[in-house]
Amino acid sequence: MSLQERYLVDVDLTTVSLYTARCLVIGSGIAGLAAALAAARKGTVFLASKCEFMESNSTYAQGGIAAALADDDTVELHVKDTLEAGGGLCDEDAVRVLVDEGRVRCQELIDMGVHFDRTDGKIAFTREGAHSRRRILHADGDATGRAITTTMLEQAKRNPNIHLLENHFAMDLLHENGVCYGALFLDTNYGRYMRVEAEFTIVATGGVGQVFRETTNPACATADGYALCFRAGAELKDMEFVQFHPTTLYLAGAPRFLISEAVRGEGAYLINQAGERFMPRYSEKAELSPRDVVCQSIFKELNSTGDTCVYLDLRHLDPALVAKRFPTIGKVCADYGLDIRSDPIPVRPAVHYMMGGVATNLNAETTVKNLYAAGEAAFTGVHGANRLASNSLLEGLVFGHRAGMAEPEKPGPFPSGRPRKSLSANGARLDVGDLSASLKAITWRNLGVYRTAIRLTETVETLKAWSRYVLAEEFHMRPGFEVQNMLTTAQTMAVSALLRTESRGAHQRVDYPYTDPSWQRHSSVTISDFEQ
């Protein structure tokens, strides 16, 4: 018998309100919004978010969105930078779609009314690590994601074909024999179940940050989409590749708030406790090296000095530029007593972005019929082993749009009356807060920047043991379901990380420190692997 649950709850669907739409989109970040706006051209759309619509990783994106729009830039250069950063694991066809269509989609954002920052009337591009050109569009200084999602959400609200469901948690996809028919929701406004049946369903639920103790991600990033699709039988790819952001605020009691890579793009240095700039010792591109290189360099520096953090130093930059470009970062740091124009900012790497995900083709189709995925939840192949900075909003925009434009064959009504858990609840008393803390602790310790077979094996075994009773439990509130999703997703990550016996990009194995050409391929995991 499976240790994974096909469904989280046993529900008699005849007792649950039914809504129908042409398209169901789960998630309200940039990918979900792009998908909904595209799908609404051809029919009704339900756009559901488990929390408030503006609460997504996209909203908190600071640095910007990369697009080859500057006069001195080309599609070829952006493709080249993306492939180089990806450590040999990017799928070039997908990268070409990303970069090429990205230009069109960004122009559409401008036409929609997103006010990207300008100098003398022309778009002001900034630079980030591993980009050979200044090609990052930004808005309101360092509040790019908020500017984009606000505008897109306004468009969605005005669109008569789009029905918005806030505080609707997607419990499970309705699926049978490899076909998806929609999803079952817990409407947390009223504490009741409801279901939406749709011709096609798009999962755009964001990333995994909350699986780890230290993350830049908001509380909603609980890995739901990976687990939803995994339970429905979809293939997940490259789940071992999770990206750490090199510079997150490191102060006792403060969240691991992102200090954008654009800060280094505008010239900030990384210094150690002794005030020495150390990145040039580790890499030719210094502070503007790819993210994996900067993270590893910071850890090497910390190991050699014995310190717990390094610092971002902006003191040599024009204070007026710093205030104009980084108002959000300046405000948050000021809340903790730091003036970023005169105080070095204490920073340390933290989990930021999932590069693996639900396997999709160039049209955002998953391996389950009528089921699509886009954004951070999806694996499109564009990021490889290490995502190029600011390619993530772009990916959500481009592949969200592609998903929304789908025209799949209609699946008909959901044939099954009752989603079934494969194990019955065992009545164990579970402390969800303790489970979540225990999970975050083990992933942070064993699935972090440096990994070993011993630690990964321990993680796989421990998570498997916890799953036996945690997944059997039938919770009634969102936090319980989220813990189940995080546990399932963490298992897929640990299994994949153990399997990949090499170091590449963000996946660093202390026991396999070199890149192995025979591993220049994607890892894959499905629920049937767990059932053997």
Interface ranges with ligand SIN (CB under 6 A)? 61-63, 258, 260-262, 353, 389-390, 392
- Cβ neighbors of 102 (< 8 A, separation 6 or more) are 66, 67, 68, 78, 394, 397, 398
Task: Write down how long the chain is.
Answer: 532
Alpha helices in 214-277 (DSSP H): 224-231, 261-265
- Distance between CA atoms of 284 and 249, rounded to whole angstroms? 25
89 vs 186, which CB is nearer to ligand SIN?
89
27 vs 396, which CB is nearer to ligand SIN?
396
Tell me which amino acid residue 10 is: D
Q: How far is the CB of 161 from ligand SIN (least distance, A)?
A: 31
On whether the CB atoms of residues 236 and 491 are closer than 8 A, the answer is: no
Q: How far is the CB of 119 from ligand SIN (least distance, A)?
A: 19
245 vs 478, which CB is nearer to ligand SIN?
245
Structural element, H or E, at residue 322: helix 319-325
Neighbours of 47 (CB within 10 A): 31
116 vs 353, which CB is nearer to ligand SIN?
353
Provide the token pair at 310. Answer: 């390094």
Q: Name the DSSP class of 338.
A: -
Q: How far is the CB of 130 from ligand SIN (least distance, A)?
A: 11
Q: How far is the CB of 260 from ligand SIN (least distance, A)?
A: 3
Measured from each CB, the residue nearest to ligand SIN is: 63
Q: How far is the CB of 348 from ligand SIN (least distance, A)?
A: 14
Q: How far is the CB of 262 from ligand SIN (least distance, A)?
A: 5
62 vs 484, which CB is nearer to ligand SIN?
62
Q: How far is the CB of 322 from ligand SIN (least distance, A)?
A: 15
- Cβ neighbors of 524 (< 8 A, separation 6 or more) are 235, 236, 237, 359
Structural element, H or E, at residue 193: strand 192-203
Q: Give yes or no: 291 in active site.
A: yes
62 vs 436, which CB is nearer to ligand SIN?
62
Q: How far is the CB of 480 from ligand SIN (least distance, A)?
A: 30
Alpha helices in 447-476 (DSSP H): 453-470
In degrees and rounded to multiples of 5, residue 70 shows phi and psi of -70, 155
- Distance between CA atoms of 438 and 518, rounded to whole angstroms? 35
Cα dihedral angle (12, 16, 20, 26), rounded to 10 degrees? -90
390 vs 446, which CB is nearer to ligand SIN?
390
247 vs 360, which CB is nearer to ligand SIN?
247
Angle subtended at Cα 371 by Cα 370 and Cα 372, rounded to the nearest 5 degrees: 120
Q: How far is the CB of 352 from ligand SIN (least distance, A)?
A: 6
49 HSE (CA, 13 A, CB side):
22
Alpha helices in 43-91 (DSSP H): 57-60, 75-85
62 vs 503, which CB is nearer to ligand SIN?
62
Provide the total of helices (H) and of strands (E) in the chain, helices listed first: 16, 21
Beta bridge partners of 244: 351
- Distance between CA atoms of 236 and 356, rounded to whole angstroms? 7
Active-site residue identified among 264, 291, 387, 455: 291
Among 418, 436, 518, which Cα is nearest to 478's?
436
Angle subtended at Cα 64 by Cα 281 and Cα 243, rounded to the nearest 5 degrees: 55
Place of tokens 């509380």: 219
Three-state DSSP at 22 gives strand
Q: How far is CA 97 from CA 80, 92, 166, 236, in A?
A: 13, 9, 32, 21
Q: Name the DSSP class of 504.
A: B
Q: How far is the CB of 62 from ligand SIN (least distance, A)?
A: 4
- Cβ neighbors of 124 (< 8 A, separation 6 or more) are 116, 117, 118, 138
23 vs 389, which CB is nearer to ligand SIN?
389
Active site residue ranges:
291
